[in-house]
C-alpha cells in the first residue's frame, strides 16, 4: 500500500471514529433525536494544491437543549379563603411537573386573581391557572398564552376517570336559599347579593352579564358585595348573611358533597349542560325550604386555561405542555387530583387555543369593561 493511500485510509478512519464517538455520547446522556443537534452533513472542500475535493465529516459539539431553560418553574394560583388547602390540593400537579421537568417547581398563591397576574407581569411566576377573564387580562398585561384547558370530575363521580367528550366549558349560576322570600330575579332587587371577586369569571362577570341581558342593573338595583371566594359566596347565603349570590355549578356540587350545605342539584346529576328556564323553575319549585336553590344559569364559559409566559423558550413550553396534557393518561393522578388538562384546539377548529376565549373578550366589550380595573 502506498503512503498516499495509507494517509487517506487513516483520514477516513479518524472521521468515522469522531462520528461514532458523538453518537455514543448522545446515548450516554439520555438525549433523544428530537432533543439533540444533528451533526452537520459532510462538506466538500478543495485544498490549496488544487487536488480533487474530498468529503470531510466533522462532528459538532452537542448543544444542551435545556441551556436557556429557567432554573426553576413557578406556577401561580388564586389562593381563595385557604391558601394552604389550595397548595395541598395541587401538590400532585406540582410533583408531576417537578419530576417531568427535572427542576424545582413551586406554587405561588395570590390573595386575588390580579395578584397572580401582577406576579406574572413582574416575572415572579412563569405560568398560572386562573379564571378565563383573568387569563385574557394576563394576555394583555403579562404576555400570557393558553396551552391547555382544565377539566375535572364532578363531586358525584366515584371513581374519577378521564373520559373523552367532556365539555371544556362550565356554567355559572345565580342562587338563593329557598324559603327566604326570593323566588325570582325580580325579588333580588333591593336585597343583598354576593359576587365572588371582581376578576372572577363565573363569580362576577358571567352572572353580571346574564343579569344585564335580563334587564337588571345589579350595581344599582342590588346591594352587591364581593365575598372573596366561591365557597364564601354560597356559605354566606346559606347562613342567612346574604339573600342571593353567584358561583359556578362545580362549587355547589363540591360543597354539597362535603356536607357543608344542602343544595338542590339537577335531577339528572349532570353539570355544565344546557338548561331551559322551565327546567330550572321546576327544580326550584321542587326544592325544600332551607336548601340552596338555583334561579338562573349563564351561557357556557370556556374553562380555566393553563397560561404560560410567551417569552419562555419554546422547548420549555413544549415540555410543560407534554406533561400537563399527558396527565389525563395517568389514572392514579386523575383519581387523586380529580382533574387534568386537555387541548381542544383541533376539536374546536381553531388555530390557537387563545381564540377559544374570544367570546369573553366580546363580553368585556359588551360590559364596557376595563380589564385593568378588575380586582383593583
Domain limits of the chain?
A: 73-153+303-373, 169-301
Three-state DSSP state, 302: strand
Q: Which of 148, 122, 132, 46 is nearest to 352 (CA)?
A: 148
Mean pLDDT of 255-260: 94
Residues in the chain: 376
CATH number (3.40.50.620, 3.40.190.10, 3.20.20.70, 2.60.40.420) of 73-153+303-373 reads: 3.40.190.10
CA 344, 346, 352, 358 torsion-angle sign: negative
At residue 33, the pLDDT reads 34
Mean of the per-residue pLDDT values of the chain: 85
Chain segment 28-59, per-residue pLDDT in tens: 333 333 333 333 333 333 443 444 444 445 55
Q: Which residue has the higher pLDDT, 49 or 357?
A: 357
- DSSP letter (8 states) at residue 89: H
Is the pLDDT reported for residue 8 higher than 60?
no
CB neighbours of 329 closer than 8 A, spacing ≥ 6? 162
- Are 266 and 113 a contacting pair, CB within 8 Å? no
Highest mean pLDDT among 22-26, 196-200, 297-301: 297-301
265-296 per-position pLDDT tens digit: 999 988 888 999 999 999 999 999 999 999 99
pTM: 0.67
C-alpha cell at 303: 374553562
Tell me what the mean pLDDT of segment 159-187 comes to: 95
Q: Which residue has the higher pLDDT, 155 or 135?
A: 135
Strands 169-170 and 301-302, by their bridges, are: antiparallel
Neighbours of 95 (CB within 10 A): 12
User: What whole-number distance in Å separates Cα of residue 155 and Cα of residue 157?
Assistant: 6
What distance in Å separates the CA atoms of residue 332 and residue 159, rounded to the nearest whole number? 11
What is the band of 113 on the pLDDT scale with cuts at 50, 70, 90? confident
Query: What CATH superfamily is the domain 169-301?
Result: Periplasmic binding protein-like II (3.40.190.10)
Domain 73-153+303-373 identical in fold to domain 169-301: yes
- Scanning the chain, the segments in alpha helix (DSSP H) are 3-28, 83-89, 91-101, 113-121, 132-142, 206-213, 218-221, 230-238, 249-257, 277-286, 314-326, 331-337, 345-348, 358-366
Residue bearing the bigger pLDDT, 15 or 175: 175
Please report which confidence band the pLDDT of residue 374 belongs to, taking 50, 70 and 90 as the band edges.
low
Contact present, 198 and 228 (Cβ < 8 Å) = no
Taking alpha carbons only, the member of 339, 367, 352 closest to residue 139 is 352
Peptide linkage before 159 cis (omega within 30 of 0): yes
Higher pLDDT, 346 or 51: 346
pLDDT > 90? residue 232: yes
Amino acid at each position: 500500500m502506498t503512503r498516499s493511500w495509507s494517509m487517506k485510509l487513516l483520514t477516513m478512519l479518524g472521521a468515522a471514529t469522531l462520528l461514532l464517538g458523538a453518537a455514543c455520547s448522545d446515548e450516554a446522556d439520555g438525549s433523544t433525536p428530537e432533543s439533540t443537534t444533528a451533526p452537520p452533513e459532510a462538506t466538500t472542500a478543495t485544498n490549496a494544491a488544487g487536488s480533487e475535493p474530498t468529503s470531510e465529516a466533522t462532528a459538532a459539539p452537542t448543544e444542551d437543549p435545556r441551556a436557556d431553560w429557567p432554573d426553576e418553574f413557578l406556577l401561580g394560583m388564586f389562593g381563595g379563603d385557604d391558601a394552604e388547602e389550595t397548595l395541598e390540593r395541587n401538590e400532585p400537579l406540582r410533583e408531576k411537573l417537578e419530576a417531568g421537568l427535572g427542576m424545582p417547581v413551586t406554587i405561588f398563591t395570590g390573595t386575588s386573581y390580579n395578584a397572580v397576574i401582577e406576579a406574572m407581569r413582574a416575572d415572579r411566576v412563569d405560568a398560572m391557572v386562573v379564571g378565563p377573564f383573568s387569563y385574557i387580562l394576563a394576555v394583555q398585561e403579562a404576555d400570557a398564552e393558553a396551552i391547555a384547558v382544565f377539566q375535572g370530575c364532578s363531586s358525584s363521580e366515584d371513581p374519577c376517570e378521564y373520559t373523552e367528550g367532556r365539555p371544556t366549558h362550565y356554567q355559572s349560576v345565580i342562587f338563593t336559599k329557598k324559603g327566604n322570600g326570593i323566588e325570582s330575579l325580580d325579588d333580588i332587587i333591593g336585597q343583598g347579593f354576593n359576587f365572588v371577586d371582581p376578576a372572577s369569571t363565573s363569580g362576577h362577570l358571567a352572572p353580571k352579564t346574564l343579569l344585564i341581558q335580563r334587564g337588571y342593573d345589579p350595581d344599582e338595583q342590588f346591594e352587591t358585595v364581593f365575598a372573596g371566594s366561591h365557597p364564601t359566596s354560597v356559605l354566606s347565603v346559606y347562613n342567612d348573611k346574604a339573600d342571593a349570590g353567584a358561583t359556578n355549578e362545580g362549587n355547589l356540587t363540591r360543597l354539597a358533597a362535603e356536607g357543608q350545605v344542602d343544595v338542590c342539584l339537577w335531577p339528572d346529576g349532570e353539570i355544565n349542560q344546557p338548561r331551559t328556564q322551565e327546567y330550572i323553575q321546576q327544580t326550584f319549585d321542587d326544592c325544600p325550604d332551607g336548601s340552596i336553590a338555583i334561579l338562573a344559569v349563564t351561557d357556557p364559559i370556556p374553562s380555566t386555561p393553563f397560561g404560560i409566559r410567551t417569552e419562555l423558550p419554546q422547548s420549555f413550553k413544549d415540555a410543560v405542555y407534554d406533561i400537563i396534557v399527558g396527565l389525563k393518561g395517568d389514572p392514579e393522578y386523575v383519581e387523586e387530583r380529580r382533574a387534568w388538562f386537555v387541548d381542544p384546539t383541533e376539536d374546536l377548529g381553531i388555530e390557537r387555543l387563545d381564540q377559544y376565549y374570544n367570546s369573553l373578550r366580546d363580553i368585556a366589550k359588551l360590559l364596557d369593561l376595563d380589564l385593568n380595573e378588575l380586582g383593583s
